[in-house]
Amino acid sequence: MSAAHDNIVEHEKSHPQLDGTSSPGTGSTAASYEGNLDNLLKEALYPDDSYTADGTYWADLPRRERYAFISKQQGAEAKREFAWIWQMFKQDPMQPFRTYWRKYVLTGMGLFVEGYVLFSIGNLSALFKSAWPTCWGSYTDCNKNWVDAVTYLEIIGIIVGQCVVGYEGDWIGRKFGLCQDALIMLIGSILLTGVWSNNLNAWVIVYGWSLFIYGIGVGGEYPMTGTKALESNVEGPTGARDDRLHRGRNVVGAFLMQGWGQVFNQCILLISLMIFHSGDTTPPFSPRSAQATYRVQFGLAVIVHLWLFYHRLYKVNDADTQIQAAKRKQNTSGYDIHSLRLLNSHYWGRLVATAGAWFANDVFFYGTKVFSSTFIGIIHPGASLVVTWEYNLINLAVSLCGYYLAFLLIDNKFYGRRNMQQVGFAFDFFIYLFAAIFFNELRVNGAPIAAFQFMYHFSSFWNQFGPNCVSFLVAGECFPASIRSTAHGFSAACGKLGALLPTVVFHYLDDRSKFWFAMPFGALGFLVTAVFLPDTTGLDLREQERYWRCVRAGHPEQYHGIAIHPQHLSWYERVVLNRNRFYDPVQDRIDRIDELRVMYESHLIAREDATGASYDPDHSFISADVERYFALEQPVDKRVKRQITKEAAIRGEFAANEKVHRSALEESLGGRV
């Protein structure tokens, strides 16, 4: 352990109060020594962004003290970030924008092109009706079922991609899923750009199946982008701090690229139509103008998809760190079937929350997006195609405001995920209820129709500043790494079933009934969120992994940490299952020190193993202070001969893959690990 000894010597030079002159003895000297020794683990056990100076978790504080702690911590963090941004700006005015690009734009680029391509389908349908009225209007040249199937095939493809790629992400890896998605979307975008036939009905059929292929890639983007953004840069103390304070922002920052994709697409459509229609925006539009417009907007997407595939294949190298670490700790090489079974039995309530809320949300979100021209036609009767697109652009701009407000407040401990989703569902429910009740009165010219337009845009704002952003985040955040992609994909697929529902039903409803139909799903989303969704705001994801290791071992009662704190459990888990009964901060401190000891010993073995042990991101948490603590702690506490107990082995699966340490564990437990 020469390397550890060198670190300790170096640390003593910078900590003279802990050198040989302060050796343990009696009275105040011994007490001072013990206190200084405990301070070595303070950052590892009680990070100041989540704990008070005396080691009290922020959610355990009385309401007034909690308010003061959170306000002070968030104020200090905001000040630190502004100073950091200002420092970057002074060195290079473009550096903050490059940082934003790398952190959020590159991660969410798959969702950008998804928003660009798929949400153009509703806009293009209105253009096709003007250019080919006998196909998309009277259906004399085209089969009505195939025209309607264009939307169905798009959503079915997304569902297939979400289920399949979500499974692959946990089985093969995140990078494989990311590259596969980019390749499938590239192929789909090429097909969409080049599709052609002299027969309109045949063209519609090929167009629909091209959307199905593209949709498979889009479906995979949801679990892959979500888990990639969730698991990025969480190694080490700095990464762990960012994970606790800004994890939601990191995910929503990538997700809101979907909104930018929609905005860019609407702008490209407007510009292209004016160019190819000789600057005139008056219908009818010729087939040649329509063909050129839709091919140019899809062709631009091909270029972005080509770059995206290259970037993910050659530049993304850290996507699999967390899933590989989880597999090593759980001693699995393929898909973790055991965790999947436990997901269905132990976390089924969370699946109801994430899948049910996503289903309810997509009835609103996709219903109003796929049928955006219909809804805008309701609030602006007789509007031309270009006017409809202009109104849609306004609606998208309002939606972006909702995205960015969610981006700013998603990690606020006063508001957080669960409250944000409930408030968003409540506003959508009441807006649609009001619109349905006063439908005829609101369509009168003047102030009433202006109020109707405001309500439609306002519902889009609350949809983004609420369930649309939150459902994307919590679908992965509520579950452990080994099955995170699967759970996210399943939840997203249930959401797309909600998207499929209005595309089928709205064809058979009058305009007023569309509002009556969508309105109850706001209440459904509010209900499943209130009952089954835990609030993971501020929760360290490493604590969730600690709890999950105990669950996998069949001993959830041996976990006593903050993952089962009442603040981070759903109403169902807290009141019905009473999972917080094992929460014990004092015992958890002992457990965490035991786990740090196992991690420390494993770290020494990995560092000194001549054959080279597998990299474990947990080793990055072994600081010089932690090394010093364990080098000094055992002689001081006279626990040199202390054996690692069976409980510590269960909670300390950190080193299960390292042969030397595994042999030591087997020997200490009489051959049972």
- Same structural domain, 457 and 366: yes
Per-range mean pLDDT, top range of 344-348, 500-504, 568-572: 568-572
Task: Give the per-residue pLDDT at 539.
Answer: 92
Q: How many CB atoms lie within 10 A of CB 324?
A: 17
Max alpha carbon distance in the chain (Å)?
98
Q: What are phi and psi of 201, to 5 degrees?
A: -65, -40
Task: Give the per-residue pLDDT at 22.
Answer: 41
Residue 33 has pLDDT above 50, yes or no: no
Q: How confident is the model at residue 566 (pLDDT cuts 50, 70, 90)?
A: very high
Least confident stretch, 103-112, 226-235, 344-353: 226-235
The predicted-structure confidence for 614-625, as pLDDT tens digits, reads as follows 455 555 667 777
Per-range mean pLDDT, top range of 218-227, 334-343, 364-373: 218-227
Crossing angle of helices 469-477 and 416-437, rounded to 10°? 140
The single-letter code of the amino acid at 595 is E
Provide the 8-state DSSP code for 557: G
> Across residues 588-610, what is the average pLDDT?
74
The predicted-structure confidence for 242-297, as pLDDT tens digits, reads as follows 888 999 999 999 999 999 999 999 999 989 988 888 766 677 788 888 889 989 99
Q: Give buried/exposed letters for 441-462 (b at 16+ CB in 10 A, else e).
A: ebbeeeeebebbbebbbbbbbb
> Is 76 inside any structural domain?
yes
Q: At 465, list the tokens.
A: 């500043």
- Same structural domain, 435 and 566: no
> Is 610 inside any structural domain?
yes
Cα(199)–Cα(129) distance, integer angstroms: 16
The single-letter code of the amino acid at 458 is F
Task: Give the per-residue pLDDT at 619.
Answer: 59
Least confident stretch, 75-84, 242-251, 609-618: 609-618
User: CB–CB of 120/265 below 8 Å?
Assistant: yes
Task: Give the per-residue pLDDT at 624.
Answer: 72
Residue matched to tokens 């702008």: 267
Which one has a higher pLDDT value, 613 or 246? 246
Cα(58)–Cα(321) distance, integer angstroms: 29
Residue 587 has pLDDT above 50, yes or no: yes
- Same structural domain, 486 and 553: no
Residue 125 has pLDDT above 90, yes or no: no
Tally of structural domains, the chain: 4
Least confident stretch, 59-63, 477-481, 554-558, 621-625: 621-625
Which one has a higher pLDDT value, 37 or 70? 70
User: CB–CB of 652/553 below 8 Å?
Assistant: no
- Same structural domain, 294 and 437: yes
Provide the 8-state DSSP code for 172: T
- Same structural domain, 504 and 646: no
Distances (CA, A) of 204 to 210, 254, 522, 554: 10, 33, 34, 54
Residue 216 has pLDDT above 70, yes or no: yes
Looking at the whole model, is its pTM more than 0.75? yes
> Is 501 inside any structural domain?
yes
Cα(648)–Cα(608) distance, integer angstroms: 23
Task: Give the per-residue pLDDT at 450.
Answer: 85
Residue 564 has pLDDT above 80, yes or no: yes
Task: Give the per-residue pLDDT at 609.
Answer: 57
Q: Which residues are CB-contacts of 475 (< 8 A; sequence separation ≥ 6)?
A: 226, 354, 355, 358, 487, 488, 491, 492
Q: How confident is the model at residue 666 (pLDDT cuts 50, 70, 90)?
A: very low
For 57, the 3-state DSSP assignment is: strand
> Across residues 11-32, what is the average pLDDT?
43
> Across residues 148-171, what is the average pLDDT?
88
Q: How many CB atoms lie within 10 A of CB 359?
A: 23
Distances (CA, A) of 442 to 381, 499, 516, 570: 12, 27, 15, 39
Which one has a higher pLDDT value, 27 or 61? 61
Beta bridge partners of 57: 51
Least confident stretch, 85-89, 193-197, 311-315, 640-644: 640-644
> Across residues 566-576, what is the average pLDDT?
96
Report the phi/psi class of residue 55: left, alpha or beta, with left for phi > 0 and alpha for psi in -120 to 50: left
Closest CA to 107 of 281, 273, 233, 225: 225
Q: At 341, list the tokens.
A: 């079974």
Exposed/middle/buried for residue 438 (C-beta within 10 Å: 0-12, 13-18, 19+): middle
> Across residues 196-210, what is the average pLDDT?
89
Which one has a higher pLDDT value, 613 or 106? 106
For 120, the 3-state DSSP assignment is: helix
- Same structural domain, 552 and 600: no
- Same structural domain, 205 and 275: yes
- Same structural domain, 104 and 86: no
Which one has a higher pLDDT value, 453 or 648? 453
Q: Which residues are CB-contacts of 10 (< 8 A; sequence separation ≥ 6)?
A: 624
**CATH label of the domain that carries residue 508:** 1.20.1250.20
Question: What is the percent of the chain where pLDDT is above 70?
Answer: 81
Q: At 80, list the tokens.
A: 């630190």
Q: How confident is the model at residue 332 (pLDDT cuts 50, 70, 90)?
A: confident
Task: Give the per-residue pLDDT at 494.
Answer: 93
Task: Give the per-residue pLDDT at 89.
Answer: 93
- Same structural domain, 151 and 219: yes
> Is 673 inside any structural domain?
no
Cα(651)–Cα(653) distance, integer angstroms: 6
Q: Which of 77, 93, 109 is the last residue of a domain?
A: 93
Residue matched to tokens 């005396």: 54
The single-letter code of the amino acid at 567 is Q
Task: Give the per-residue pLDDT at 284.
Answer: 75
Beta bridge partners of 656: none
> Is 162 inside any structural domain?
yes
Q: How confident is the model at residue 397 (pLDDT cuts 50, 70, 90)?
A: very high
Residue matched to tokens 């306000």: 71
Question: What is the percent of the chain where pLDDT is above 90?
Answer: 44
> Is 247 inside any structural domain?
yes
> Is 303 inside any structural domain?
yes
The predicted-structure confidence for 423-466, as pLDDT tens digits, reads as follows 999 999 999 999 899 988 888 888 888 888 888 889 999 999 99
- Same structural domain, 35 and 51: no
Q: How confident is the model at residue 659 (pLDDT cuts 50, 70, 90)?
A: very low
Task: Give the per-residue pLDDT at 662.
Answer: 44
> Across residues 510-515, what is the average pLDDT?
86
- Same structural domain, 460 and 423: yes
Task: Give the per-residue pLDDT at 129.
Answer: 86
Q: At 47, list the tokens.
A: 């990070």
Q: Which of 497, 532, 567 is the last residue of a domain?
A: 532
Least confident stretch, 19-33, 84-98, 393-407, 430-444: 19-33
Domain limits for position 133? 99-532
Q: How confident is the model at residue 672 (pLDDT cuts 50, 70, 90)?
A: very low
Task: Give the per-residue pLDDT at 327.
Answer: 72
Q: How confident is the model at residue 592 (pLDDT cuts 50, 70, 90)?
A: confident
Q: Give buried/exposed letters for 25-34 (b at 16+ CB in 10 A, else e).
A: eeeeeeeebe
Residue 7 has pLDDT above 60, yes or no: no
Task: Give the per-residue pLDDT at 668.
Answer: 46
DSSP code string of 475-499? HHHTS-HHHHHHHHHHHHHHHHHHH
Mean pLDDT of the chain: 82
- Same structural domain, 563 and 435: no
Cα(355)–Cα(361) distance, integer angstroms: 10
> Is 226 inside any structural domain?
yes
Torsion of CA 84, 51, 324, 106, to 10 degrees: -30
Task: Give the per-residue pLDDT at 281.
Answer: 66
Q: How confident is the model at residue 120 (pLDDT cuts 50, 70, 90)?
A: confident
